[in-house]
Structure 1
Amino acid sequence: MLVLTRKKGESIVISDDIVLTVLSVDGENVKLGIAAPRNIDIYRKEVLDAIEQNNQNAAMNLETLQKTMKGFGQIS
């Protein structure tokens, strides 16, 4: 992990087209501004983790449903 120190108003550039700017610091809270192309998805880590978990649960539920239906002779 790369660790950088930035102050309010300072930025970090990623891959020429993504700019992270520190907008404010209030105690332990840091407000970041992100300038990136519209085709790049940006998520908070905990939201992305929840999306991935929901997708895994849905896939497992589909597999369970398919196995159950096979048991009843509904699908081959």
Structure 2
Amino acid sequence: MPEIHVYLGALFDNEQKKSMMREVSNAVIRTLDVKIENVIVQIVEASLDDKMKGGESSGSGRRGSGNDARAL
């Protein structure tokens, strides 16, 4: 039973997350030749204030700086 964990910053709405999980599930079904009922996709979501990249916080201070926080 494949189980996939996706780590995301808290930037995406529920529809985006559902769409991503469907796409990941379809990729697993296609590449591993397993049934959909055996595929688990779980999102592990964290506030951007709880992330750091390159020694800098990814929180609200970077959102307005021109850096796209989605590049984490």
**TM > 0.5 fold call:** no
What TM-score do the two structures reach when normalised by structure 2? 0.32
What TM-score do the two structures reach when normalised by structure 1? 0.30
Higher relative contact order (CA 8 A, sep 6+): 2
| Greater percentage in helix | 2
